[in-house]
Structure 1
Amino acid sequence: MSDVSLVTLLWVFVTFFAAGLVKGVTGMGLPTVAMGLLGAVMSPLAAASLLIAPSFVTNVWQLMAGPRLGALAARLWPMLLAIALGTVLGAAWIARGDAETTTGLLGIALALYAGVTLFGRQCRVPPRMERALSPLVGGATGLVTGATGVFVIPAVPYLQALNLPKNDLVQALGLSFTASTVALAFGLGAHGAFRADEALLSALAVLPALGGMWAGQRVRDRISPAAFRRGFLIALLLLGCEMAARPLY
């Protein structure tokens, strides 16, 4: 890490604390916030490399917190497998290092997620369609993850549409994000895009991410999570629009 400036190091730590804070309050959002804030000042490839360890640790923590891990894994395995395959394939795009294009794609993914969550109507997936839709949603999520480092489109709206109980939904999101994280790490490594210095900095970033999660959980009962989430999504929408338009100027 000898070539990492103090300003960059501080920004990485502030970013992961903020991302952990959002996750602590809302139960999700760490990879999305981290990619948005880091992608504003560095290439999406570098941001995705730094994301690996904090995302893995916090999402394993999330998926292990519920009692139905085995049942959910058995139900969602077609989606999870497709996420993994799609992410490894899509990682070839982000590993090319075309910062201008991937920044634009990252902005589109962030804005799309924020817009759908803020303004989209809640849908329901009939049980009879789940078997056919799960691998399609997983594959699409994997390709978006591999190309941008963002794990949420379309997996999060799809899982919400399954009408799972609250605790099951949180655990299912943890499963999806963990599969995306592991596959992204494998994809970046397979394309020679995950360097040792980035792996070390990613490991160090676990500490502020966990600190932010702890802080978010402490303040969750003192604020309105719904209002906090709405403000976070509006900020994410604006950031995504700016990043999507950046290659145009």
Structure 2
Amino acid sequence: MDQNDIVIITATFFLAGIVKGVTGMGLPTVAMGVLGAVLSPLTAATLLLVPSFVTNVWQLLTGPGFKPLLRRLWPMMAAVVVGTFVGSSLLAGGAAGRTTSALGLTLIAYAAYTLCAVPRRIPSSWQPVATPLVGFATGLVTGATGVFVIPAVPYLQALDLDKEELVQALGLSFTVSTIALALALGFQGALPAGNLVPSLLAVVPALIGMAAGQAIRQRISPSAFRRGFLICLLLLGCEMVLRPVFAG
């Protein structure tokens, strides 16, 4: 990596940390969205692994009840791992154009859903079937694009979880997705050892950004910030989908 790449990576993880500090999520999505626009999605995904793991374990362990949450959501987490291994062949295959388009579509779907969807609740009678299906679908998207938010985040938001439980559930889902992605890419032989050091160093700007985001949250409306962030994400996703068309 040259000096420009290092500057881009540092700035990206600082920005992603700010988003996570303000909204409680978004670090992997921002990192993949921005880095996936300037680097290959596979490179972006490997750079994401350590900062995502550190910040999400932190989020997971600060919640009120890890064990009850794990007992409830373990079928989803197990299915995430399976789906990630199945979907990882696309990300590891080196088809940059297809992977970039898939990543762009994922960003569009997440941003559009979050901006427009009406909050809903999943009936408890549906959850035994829906939970592993959502986990498997999330794993497929994670393995193919490096983004772990669809459909896990909307689904977890639709469960009967209080605010603290939801934050911890998101931390659990993101942590498992990060570990599964690392294992799947390693299994595919697509985890470049040279990217692990930059990924480790990216933890620093991510944590500084999180601290800055938490300070910003006290001064602005988190909902207004989130809306602006999602609109930017939507535009970025559109650019990534259209890029192969104009390149061709």
Q: TM-score range by the shorter chain?
A: over 0.9
Corresponding residue number in structure 2 for 1:149: 146
Alpha-carbon displacement from aligned partner over 1:196-234 (angstroms, at most 9, x marks no partner): 110111011011001100111111111110000000000
Selected match of 2:118 from 105, 121, 124? 121
Deviation for aligned residue 1:246: 1.2
Within 5 Å, which residues of 2 pair with 1:115-194? 115-194=112-191
Corresponding residue number in structure 2 for 1:224: 221
Selected match of 2:11 from 14, 22, 27? 14
1:68 partnered with 2:104 = no
Corresponding residue number in structure 1 for 2:200: 203
1:54 partnered with 2:51 = yes
Selected match of 2:107 from 106, 110, 124? 110
Deviation for aligned residue 1:105: 0.3
Please give the TM-score of this superposition, normalised by the length of structure 1.
Answer: 0.98
Query: What CA distance in whole angstroms lies between the structure 1 residues aligned with 2:192 and 2:91?
Result: 14
Partner SS state of residue 97, structure 1: coil
Alpha-carbon displacement from aligned partner over 1:161-204 (angstroms, at most 9, x marks no partner): 00310000000000000010000000111111111110111011
Deviation for aligned residue 1:34: 0.3
Query: What CA distance in whole angstroms lies between the structure 2 residues aligned with 1:208 and 1:227?
Result: 24
Q: Note the residue ranges of structure 2 that are not aligned, 5 or more in a row.
A: none
Give structure 1 regions of 4+ aligned residues with deviation exceeding 6 angstroms.
Answer: none
Partner SS state of residue 107, structure 2: helix
Deviation for aligned residue 1:121: 1.5
Q: Note the residue ranges of structure 1 that are not aligned, 5 or more in a row.
A: none
Deviation for aligned residue 1:91: 0.9
Selected match of 1:238 from 219, 235, 239? 235
Corresponding residue number in structure 1 for 2:79: 82
Corresponding residue number in structure 1 for 2:41: 44
Query: What CA distance in whole angstroms lies between the structure 2 residues aligned with 1:219 and 1:108?
Result: 30
Query: What CA distance in whole angstroms lies between the structure 1 residues aligned with 2:237 and 2:182?
Result: 24
Deviation for aligned residue 1:61: 0.2
Partner SS state of residue 38, structure 2: coil
Instruction: Give the CA RMSD over aligned residues.
Output: 0.6
Corresponding residue number in structure 2 for 1:91: 88
Deviation for aligned residue 1:36: 0.3
Partner SS state of residue 39, structure 1: helix
1:30 partnered with 2:27 = yes
Please give the TM-score of this superposition, normalised by the length of structure 2.
Answer: 0.98
Equivalent AA in structure 1 for residue 218 of structure 2? D
Equivalent AA in structure 2 for residue 58 of structure 1? T
Partner SS state of residue 182, structure 2: helix
